Structure 1
Amino acid sequence: MEPLTLGALVALFTVLVLFSGISVGAGLLVVATGFLFFVDGARSLEALPELFFGELNSFALLSIPMFIIMGAAISSSRAGPDLYEALERWLTRVPGGLLVSNLGACALFAAMSGSSPATCAAIGKMGIPEMRKRGYPDEVAAGSIAAGGTLGILIPPSVTMIVYGIATETSIGRLFLAGVIPGLLLTLLFIAWAIFDTWRRGAAGVALSGIKYSWRQKFEILPRVLPFLAIIVGVLYALYGGIATPSETAAVGALLCIVVVMIVYKMVQPRALWAILRDSTRESVMILFIIGAAGVFSFMLSSLFITQSVAEWIGGLDVNRWVLMAIVNLFLLVAGFFLPPVAVILMSAPILLPIITAAGFDPYWFAVIVTINMEIGLITPPVGLNLYVINGIAPDISLKKVLFGSLPFVGCMIAAIVLLSVFPGLATWLPDFVMGKAI
């Protein structure tokens, strides 16, 4: 059978298996072992256990559970509500200020926790009722939080960027830096739309709550928020200052977050600490299992010459490189509709990266493009994880309203991709400035 035909069958069966409800990691293993057995026989399965564990035999992977512990410690405390309240106190007199403060809180909390669902839950529990009480439409209140939660996979430290770096063997530190300016750009685009939408609806009067906070009230909440921001800044400084590796900085950051949570929020009960470690372990194992399974899946694609044939076919297309990039973006967008970001990156990045670099695109710039596509997938059906999180927080707001409220922010993400395509230096300048040009 021709490799391209075989590749089409693999794609079809992968979609069918994953739609059956099986977990992503298990589904990839089922498809990989099944095609290897039927095409190459039972002997081809002998190396699979070694391949699976070989994918996990990387010191860089230690940063994933450490950053997850860091985020779980923050998510389990009142850091999210405190961060929201701090911004609300400082921005309450700005037209559209409550909406802006929600988006700002989402961006900061997402950067601290690295988890989109956790961000939606932490900020949404306070932000959505408060916005509705102030007269904001339900779709605006819900959609803004759903979109704001996606920023966590772009703004460093980002677990998604770590996975991309491991899958493509690129520098994690450089990937983190590549996400800084695009992350700020996307946050500013979200805020700009929020201010414009408030003005367009004539809701400036609604946005002003009438509550006046004294300078004392504005400053008294900062000591509960600033320690976490200081930890993030310290982790990034240690990483980019050459003081420690990503895994080492993640471990120190996780320890410091747990200590701050214990001191600031008095979470010293063994049950509370156990919950942090339990939830972190569960999420870490899920991601690491997908990584191992994706390694086996990639081996199957390579050993059956599917990867090479697809790359050769795409490379042979007589199209402009921007047309090629548009096709790749469309593929990533559709894949993000159905699969979580980690799975899409592990399955597609090793195949797409050689094609992208051969077309003259920067791999770190491409990482940002991939991540923004994955952000869109988090707020679009049928998977759209953030949509369901918001619906769980505010069940009286229909999924339809949450979706329509988040669509303008999808437009902001598409605008960000266009801006990054026109000005690729937005993603590449900071890594080159701090770490020198990549060889």
Structure 2
Amino acid sequence: MSPAAQGSIVLIITLLMLVSGIPVAFGLGAIALAFLVIYQGFDALHVAAETLWSGLDDFTLVAIPMFVMMGAAIGSSPAGKDLYEALERWLYRVPGGLVVSNLGACAIFAALTGSSPACCAAIGKMGIPEMRKRGYPDDVATGSICAGGTLGILIPPSLTFILYGIATETSIGRLFIAGIMPGLLLTTMFMAWSIFKIWRSGFRAHAPDFRYSWKQKFESIPKIAPFLFIIAGVMYALYGGIATPSEAAGVGAALCLILAIAIYRLWKPDQIWHILRDTMRESVMILTIIATAVLFGYMLTSLYLTQTLAQGIADLHANKWVLMLLINLFLLVCGFFIPPAAIILMTSPILLPIITAAGFDPVWFGVILTINMEIGLIHPPVGLNIYIVNAIAPDVPLAKVMWGTLPYVVCMMLAIVILCIFPEIATWLPNHLMGPGK
């Protein structure tokens, strides 16, 4: 059987597995083992354990449970509520100021957790009821939180960048820095649309004579200061050359845990256990996916499927921007059905030689891929953020939540176009701070 026919069979079975609801890690592992046995015999199983081990034998992976712990510690505290209230006091005069406050809180919270679902849940639990209570349209209230939550995988530290860096052997430090300006760009675009939408509708959340005093505004600053301190500590340790990403993640986890205990009095054993339990659960899930994805990639390479696909695309002799359009469409469709971690670990090793041969920067492509993953997070049928928001506001019809996310999906697509026209938005800062990439 030709590699093309084998690849088609693998693709169909893998897609069926992913949409069936089987845990991704177990599904990938089972498919990899089955095809190795079918095409290479039982002797191929001798390398399975070694391949699984090699997939996890990387010091960089230590960063994953540490960043997960950051999110768990902050998510278990009233940090999202304090951050939200502080921003609301400063931005209440802006049209749609409450939406802007929520998006700003999402951006800052994203830099603390690196997790989209954690960001969406933490800010949404406070922001959505408050916006609806003040009369904001349901589609704006829910759609903005869905979109703001996606910033958790773009603004560093980002688990998505860690996975992409591991899968493609790209510098995680460069990826983190590359995500800063696109993250700010996307946050600004979300805010601009929200302000325009509220301004056009003529809606005002407060009475014209309502105002917070300067005393009330400055009273809120101490609530934001710890967040800024943690972000500054992690960024300084990482970009100041003091620590590797794994070590910086350890610093961030320690600071977040200390903050939760000291400021929010999360010192009871059951509260600490809750943080550790959530950290272990999510970390094991991600690390198991990584190990089985490495085995899946080994199977693809052993059967020459990866090489055949790359050669087939190269033989098209298509314009590199046509190629990038096809890749984006492919990632967009994958994001509708497959979780981001699985997409990155399965497709990055295949796409890397293709995009480098076309002359694209792997760091820049990591940002493009991540924005595609963001779109998948607010688009059904996977659309994890949609279901998180629907759980927060169950009386809002799911269809209305989806329609509310649509303008923000358009913003993300526009951001991809802008990054294609001006790739320096992603590449300038890492090149400036760390020197030109190899």
The TM-score bracket by the shorter chain reads: over 0.9
The farther-off stretch of 125-134 and 243-252 is: 125-134
How much has 1:222 moved relative to structure 2? 2.2
Determine whether 1:114 maps to 2:114.
Answer: yes
Tell me which residue corresponds to 2:138.
Answer: 138
Q: Deviations over 1:288-307 (max 9, x none)?
A: 00000000000000000000
* Preserved CA contact (<8 Å) 2:164 2:366: yes
How much has 1:104 moved relative to structure 2? 0.7
**TM-score after normalising by structure 2:** 0.98
* Preserved CA contact (<8 Å) 2:110 2:156: no
Tell me which residue corresponds to 1:5.
Answer: 5
* Preserved CA contact (<8 Å) 1:94 1:208: no
Within-5 A mapping of 1:356-435: 356-435=355-434
Tell me which residue corresponds to 1:88.
Answer: 88
Separation in 2, partners of 1:122, 1:208: 28
* Preserved CA contact (<8 Å) 2:80 2:126: no
Determine whether 1:78 maps to 2:114.
Answer: no
SS of residue matched to 2:184: helix
SS of residue matched to 1:267: coil
Separation in 1, partners of 2:384, 2:378: 7
Separation in 1, partners of 2:299, 2:209: 62
Q: Deviations over 1:218-250 (max 9, x none)?
A: 122322321122111111111111111111111
* Preserved CA contact (<8 Å) 2:86 2:223: no
Q: Deviations over 1:26-72 (max 9, x none)?
A: 01011111111111111111110110011100000000100110111
Separation in 1, partners of 2:414, 2:104: 19
SS of residue matched to 1:225: helix
Q: Deviations over 1:148-182 (max 9, x none)?
A: 00001000000110010000001000000110000
Q: Deviations over 1:1-22 (max 9, x none)?
A: 1101111110100011222221
How much has 1:127 moved relative to structure 2? 1.0
Give the AA of the match of 1:121: A
Q: Deviations over 1:123-142 (max 9, x none)?
A: 11121111112221111100
* Preserved CA contact (<8 Å) 1:238 1:244: yes
Separation in 2, partners of 1:299, 1:144: 40
Q: Deviations over 1:106-139 (max 9, x none)?
A: 1111221112111121111121111112221111
Tell me which residue corresponds to 1:263.
Answer: 262
Do the aligned partners of residues 340 and 47 (structure 1) sit closer, same or farther apart at CA in structure 2, a change above 3 Å counting?
Answer: same
How much has 1:433 moved relative to structure 2? 0.2
Give the AA of the match of 2:289: I
The farther-off stretch of 217-226 and 309-318 is: 217-226
Determine whether 1:153 maps to 2:125.
Answer: no
Separation in 2, partners of 1:246, 1:175: 11
Tell me which residue corresponds to 1:38.
Answer: 38
How much has 1:256 moved relative to structure 2? 1.1
Tell me which residue corresponds to 1:238.
Answer: 237
Separation in 2, partners of 1:383, 1:145: 17
* Preserved CA contact (<8 Å) 1:224 1:264: no
How much has 1:208 moved relative to structure 2? 5.7
Show structure 1 runs of 5+ residues with no match.
Answer: none
* Preserved CA contact (<8 Å) 1:112 1:229: no
How much has 1:353 moved relative to structure 2? 0.7
Tell me which residue corresponds to 1:59.
Answer: 59
Within-5 A mapping of 1:266-305: 266-305=265-304
Tell me which residue corresponds to 1:345.
Answer: 344
Within-5 A mapping of 1:326-341: 326-341=325-340
Q: Deviations over 1:303-357 (max 9, x none)?
A: 0000000000011112111000000000000111111111100000001011001
Separation in 2, partners of 1:222, 1:357: 46
SS of residue matched to 2:379: coil
Show structure 2 runs of 5+ residues with no match.
Answer: none
**TM-score after normalising by structure 1:** 0.98
The alignment yields a C-alpha RMSD, in angstroms, of: 1.1
SS of residue matched to 1:281: helix
* Preserved CA contact (<8 Å) 1:92 1:209: no
Q: What percentage of residue pairs aligned between the two structures are identical?
A: 63
SS of residue matched to 1:46: helix
Within-5 A mapping of 1:80-229: 80-203=80-203, 205-206=204-205, 211-229=210-228
How much has 1:210 moved relative to structure 2? 5.5
Tell me which residue corresponds to 1:251.
Answer: 250
Number of aligned residues:
438
How much has 1:206 moved relative to structure 2? 3.7
Do the aligned partners of residues 210 and 47 (structure 1) sit closer, same or farther apart at CA in structure 2, a change above 3 Å counting?
Answer: farther
SS of residue matched to 1:408: helix
Q: Deviations over 1:404-429 (max 9, x none)?
A: 00000000000100000000000000
* Preserved CA contact (<8 Å) 1:156 1:180: yes
Separation in 2, partners of 1:407, 1:364: 27
Q: Deviations over 1:55-106 (max 9, x none)?
A: 1000000001001101110111000011100000111111111111111111
How much has 1:268 moved relative to structure 2? 0.8
* Preserved CA contact (<8 Å) 1:93 1:208: no
Separation in 2, partners of 1:272, 1:214: 36
Within-5 A mapping of 1:12-23: 12-23=12-23
Separation in 2, partners of 1:297, 1:11: 12
Do the aligned partners of residues 197 and 291 (structure 1) sit closer, same or farther apart at CA in structure 2, a change above 3 Å counting?
Answer: same
Do the aligned partners of residues 339 and 316 (structure 1) sit closer, same or farther apart at CA in structure 2, a change above 3 Å counting?
Answer: same
Separation in 2, partners of 1:171, 1:180: 15
* Preserved CA contact (<8 Å) 1:96 1:207: no
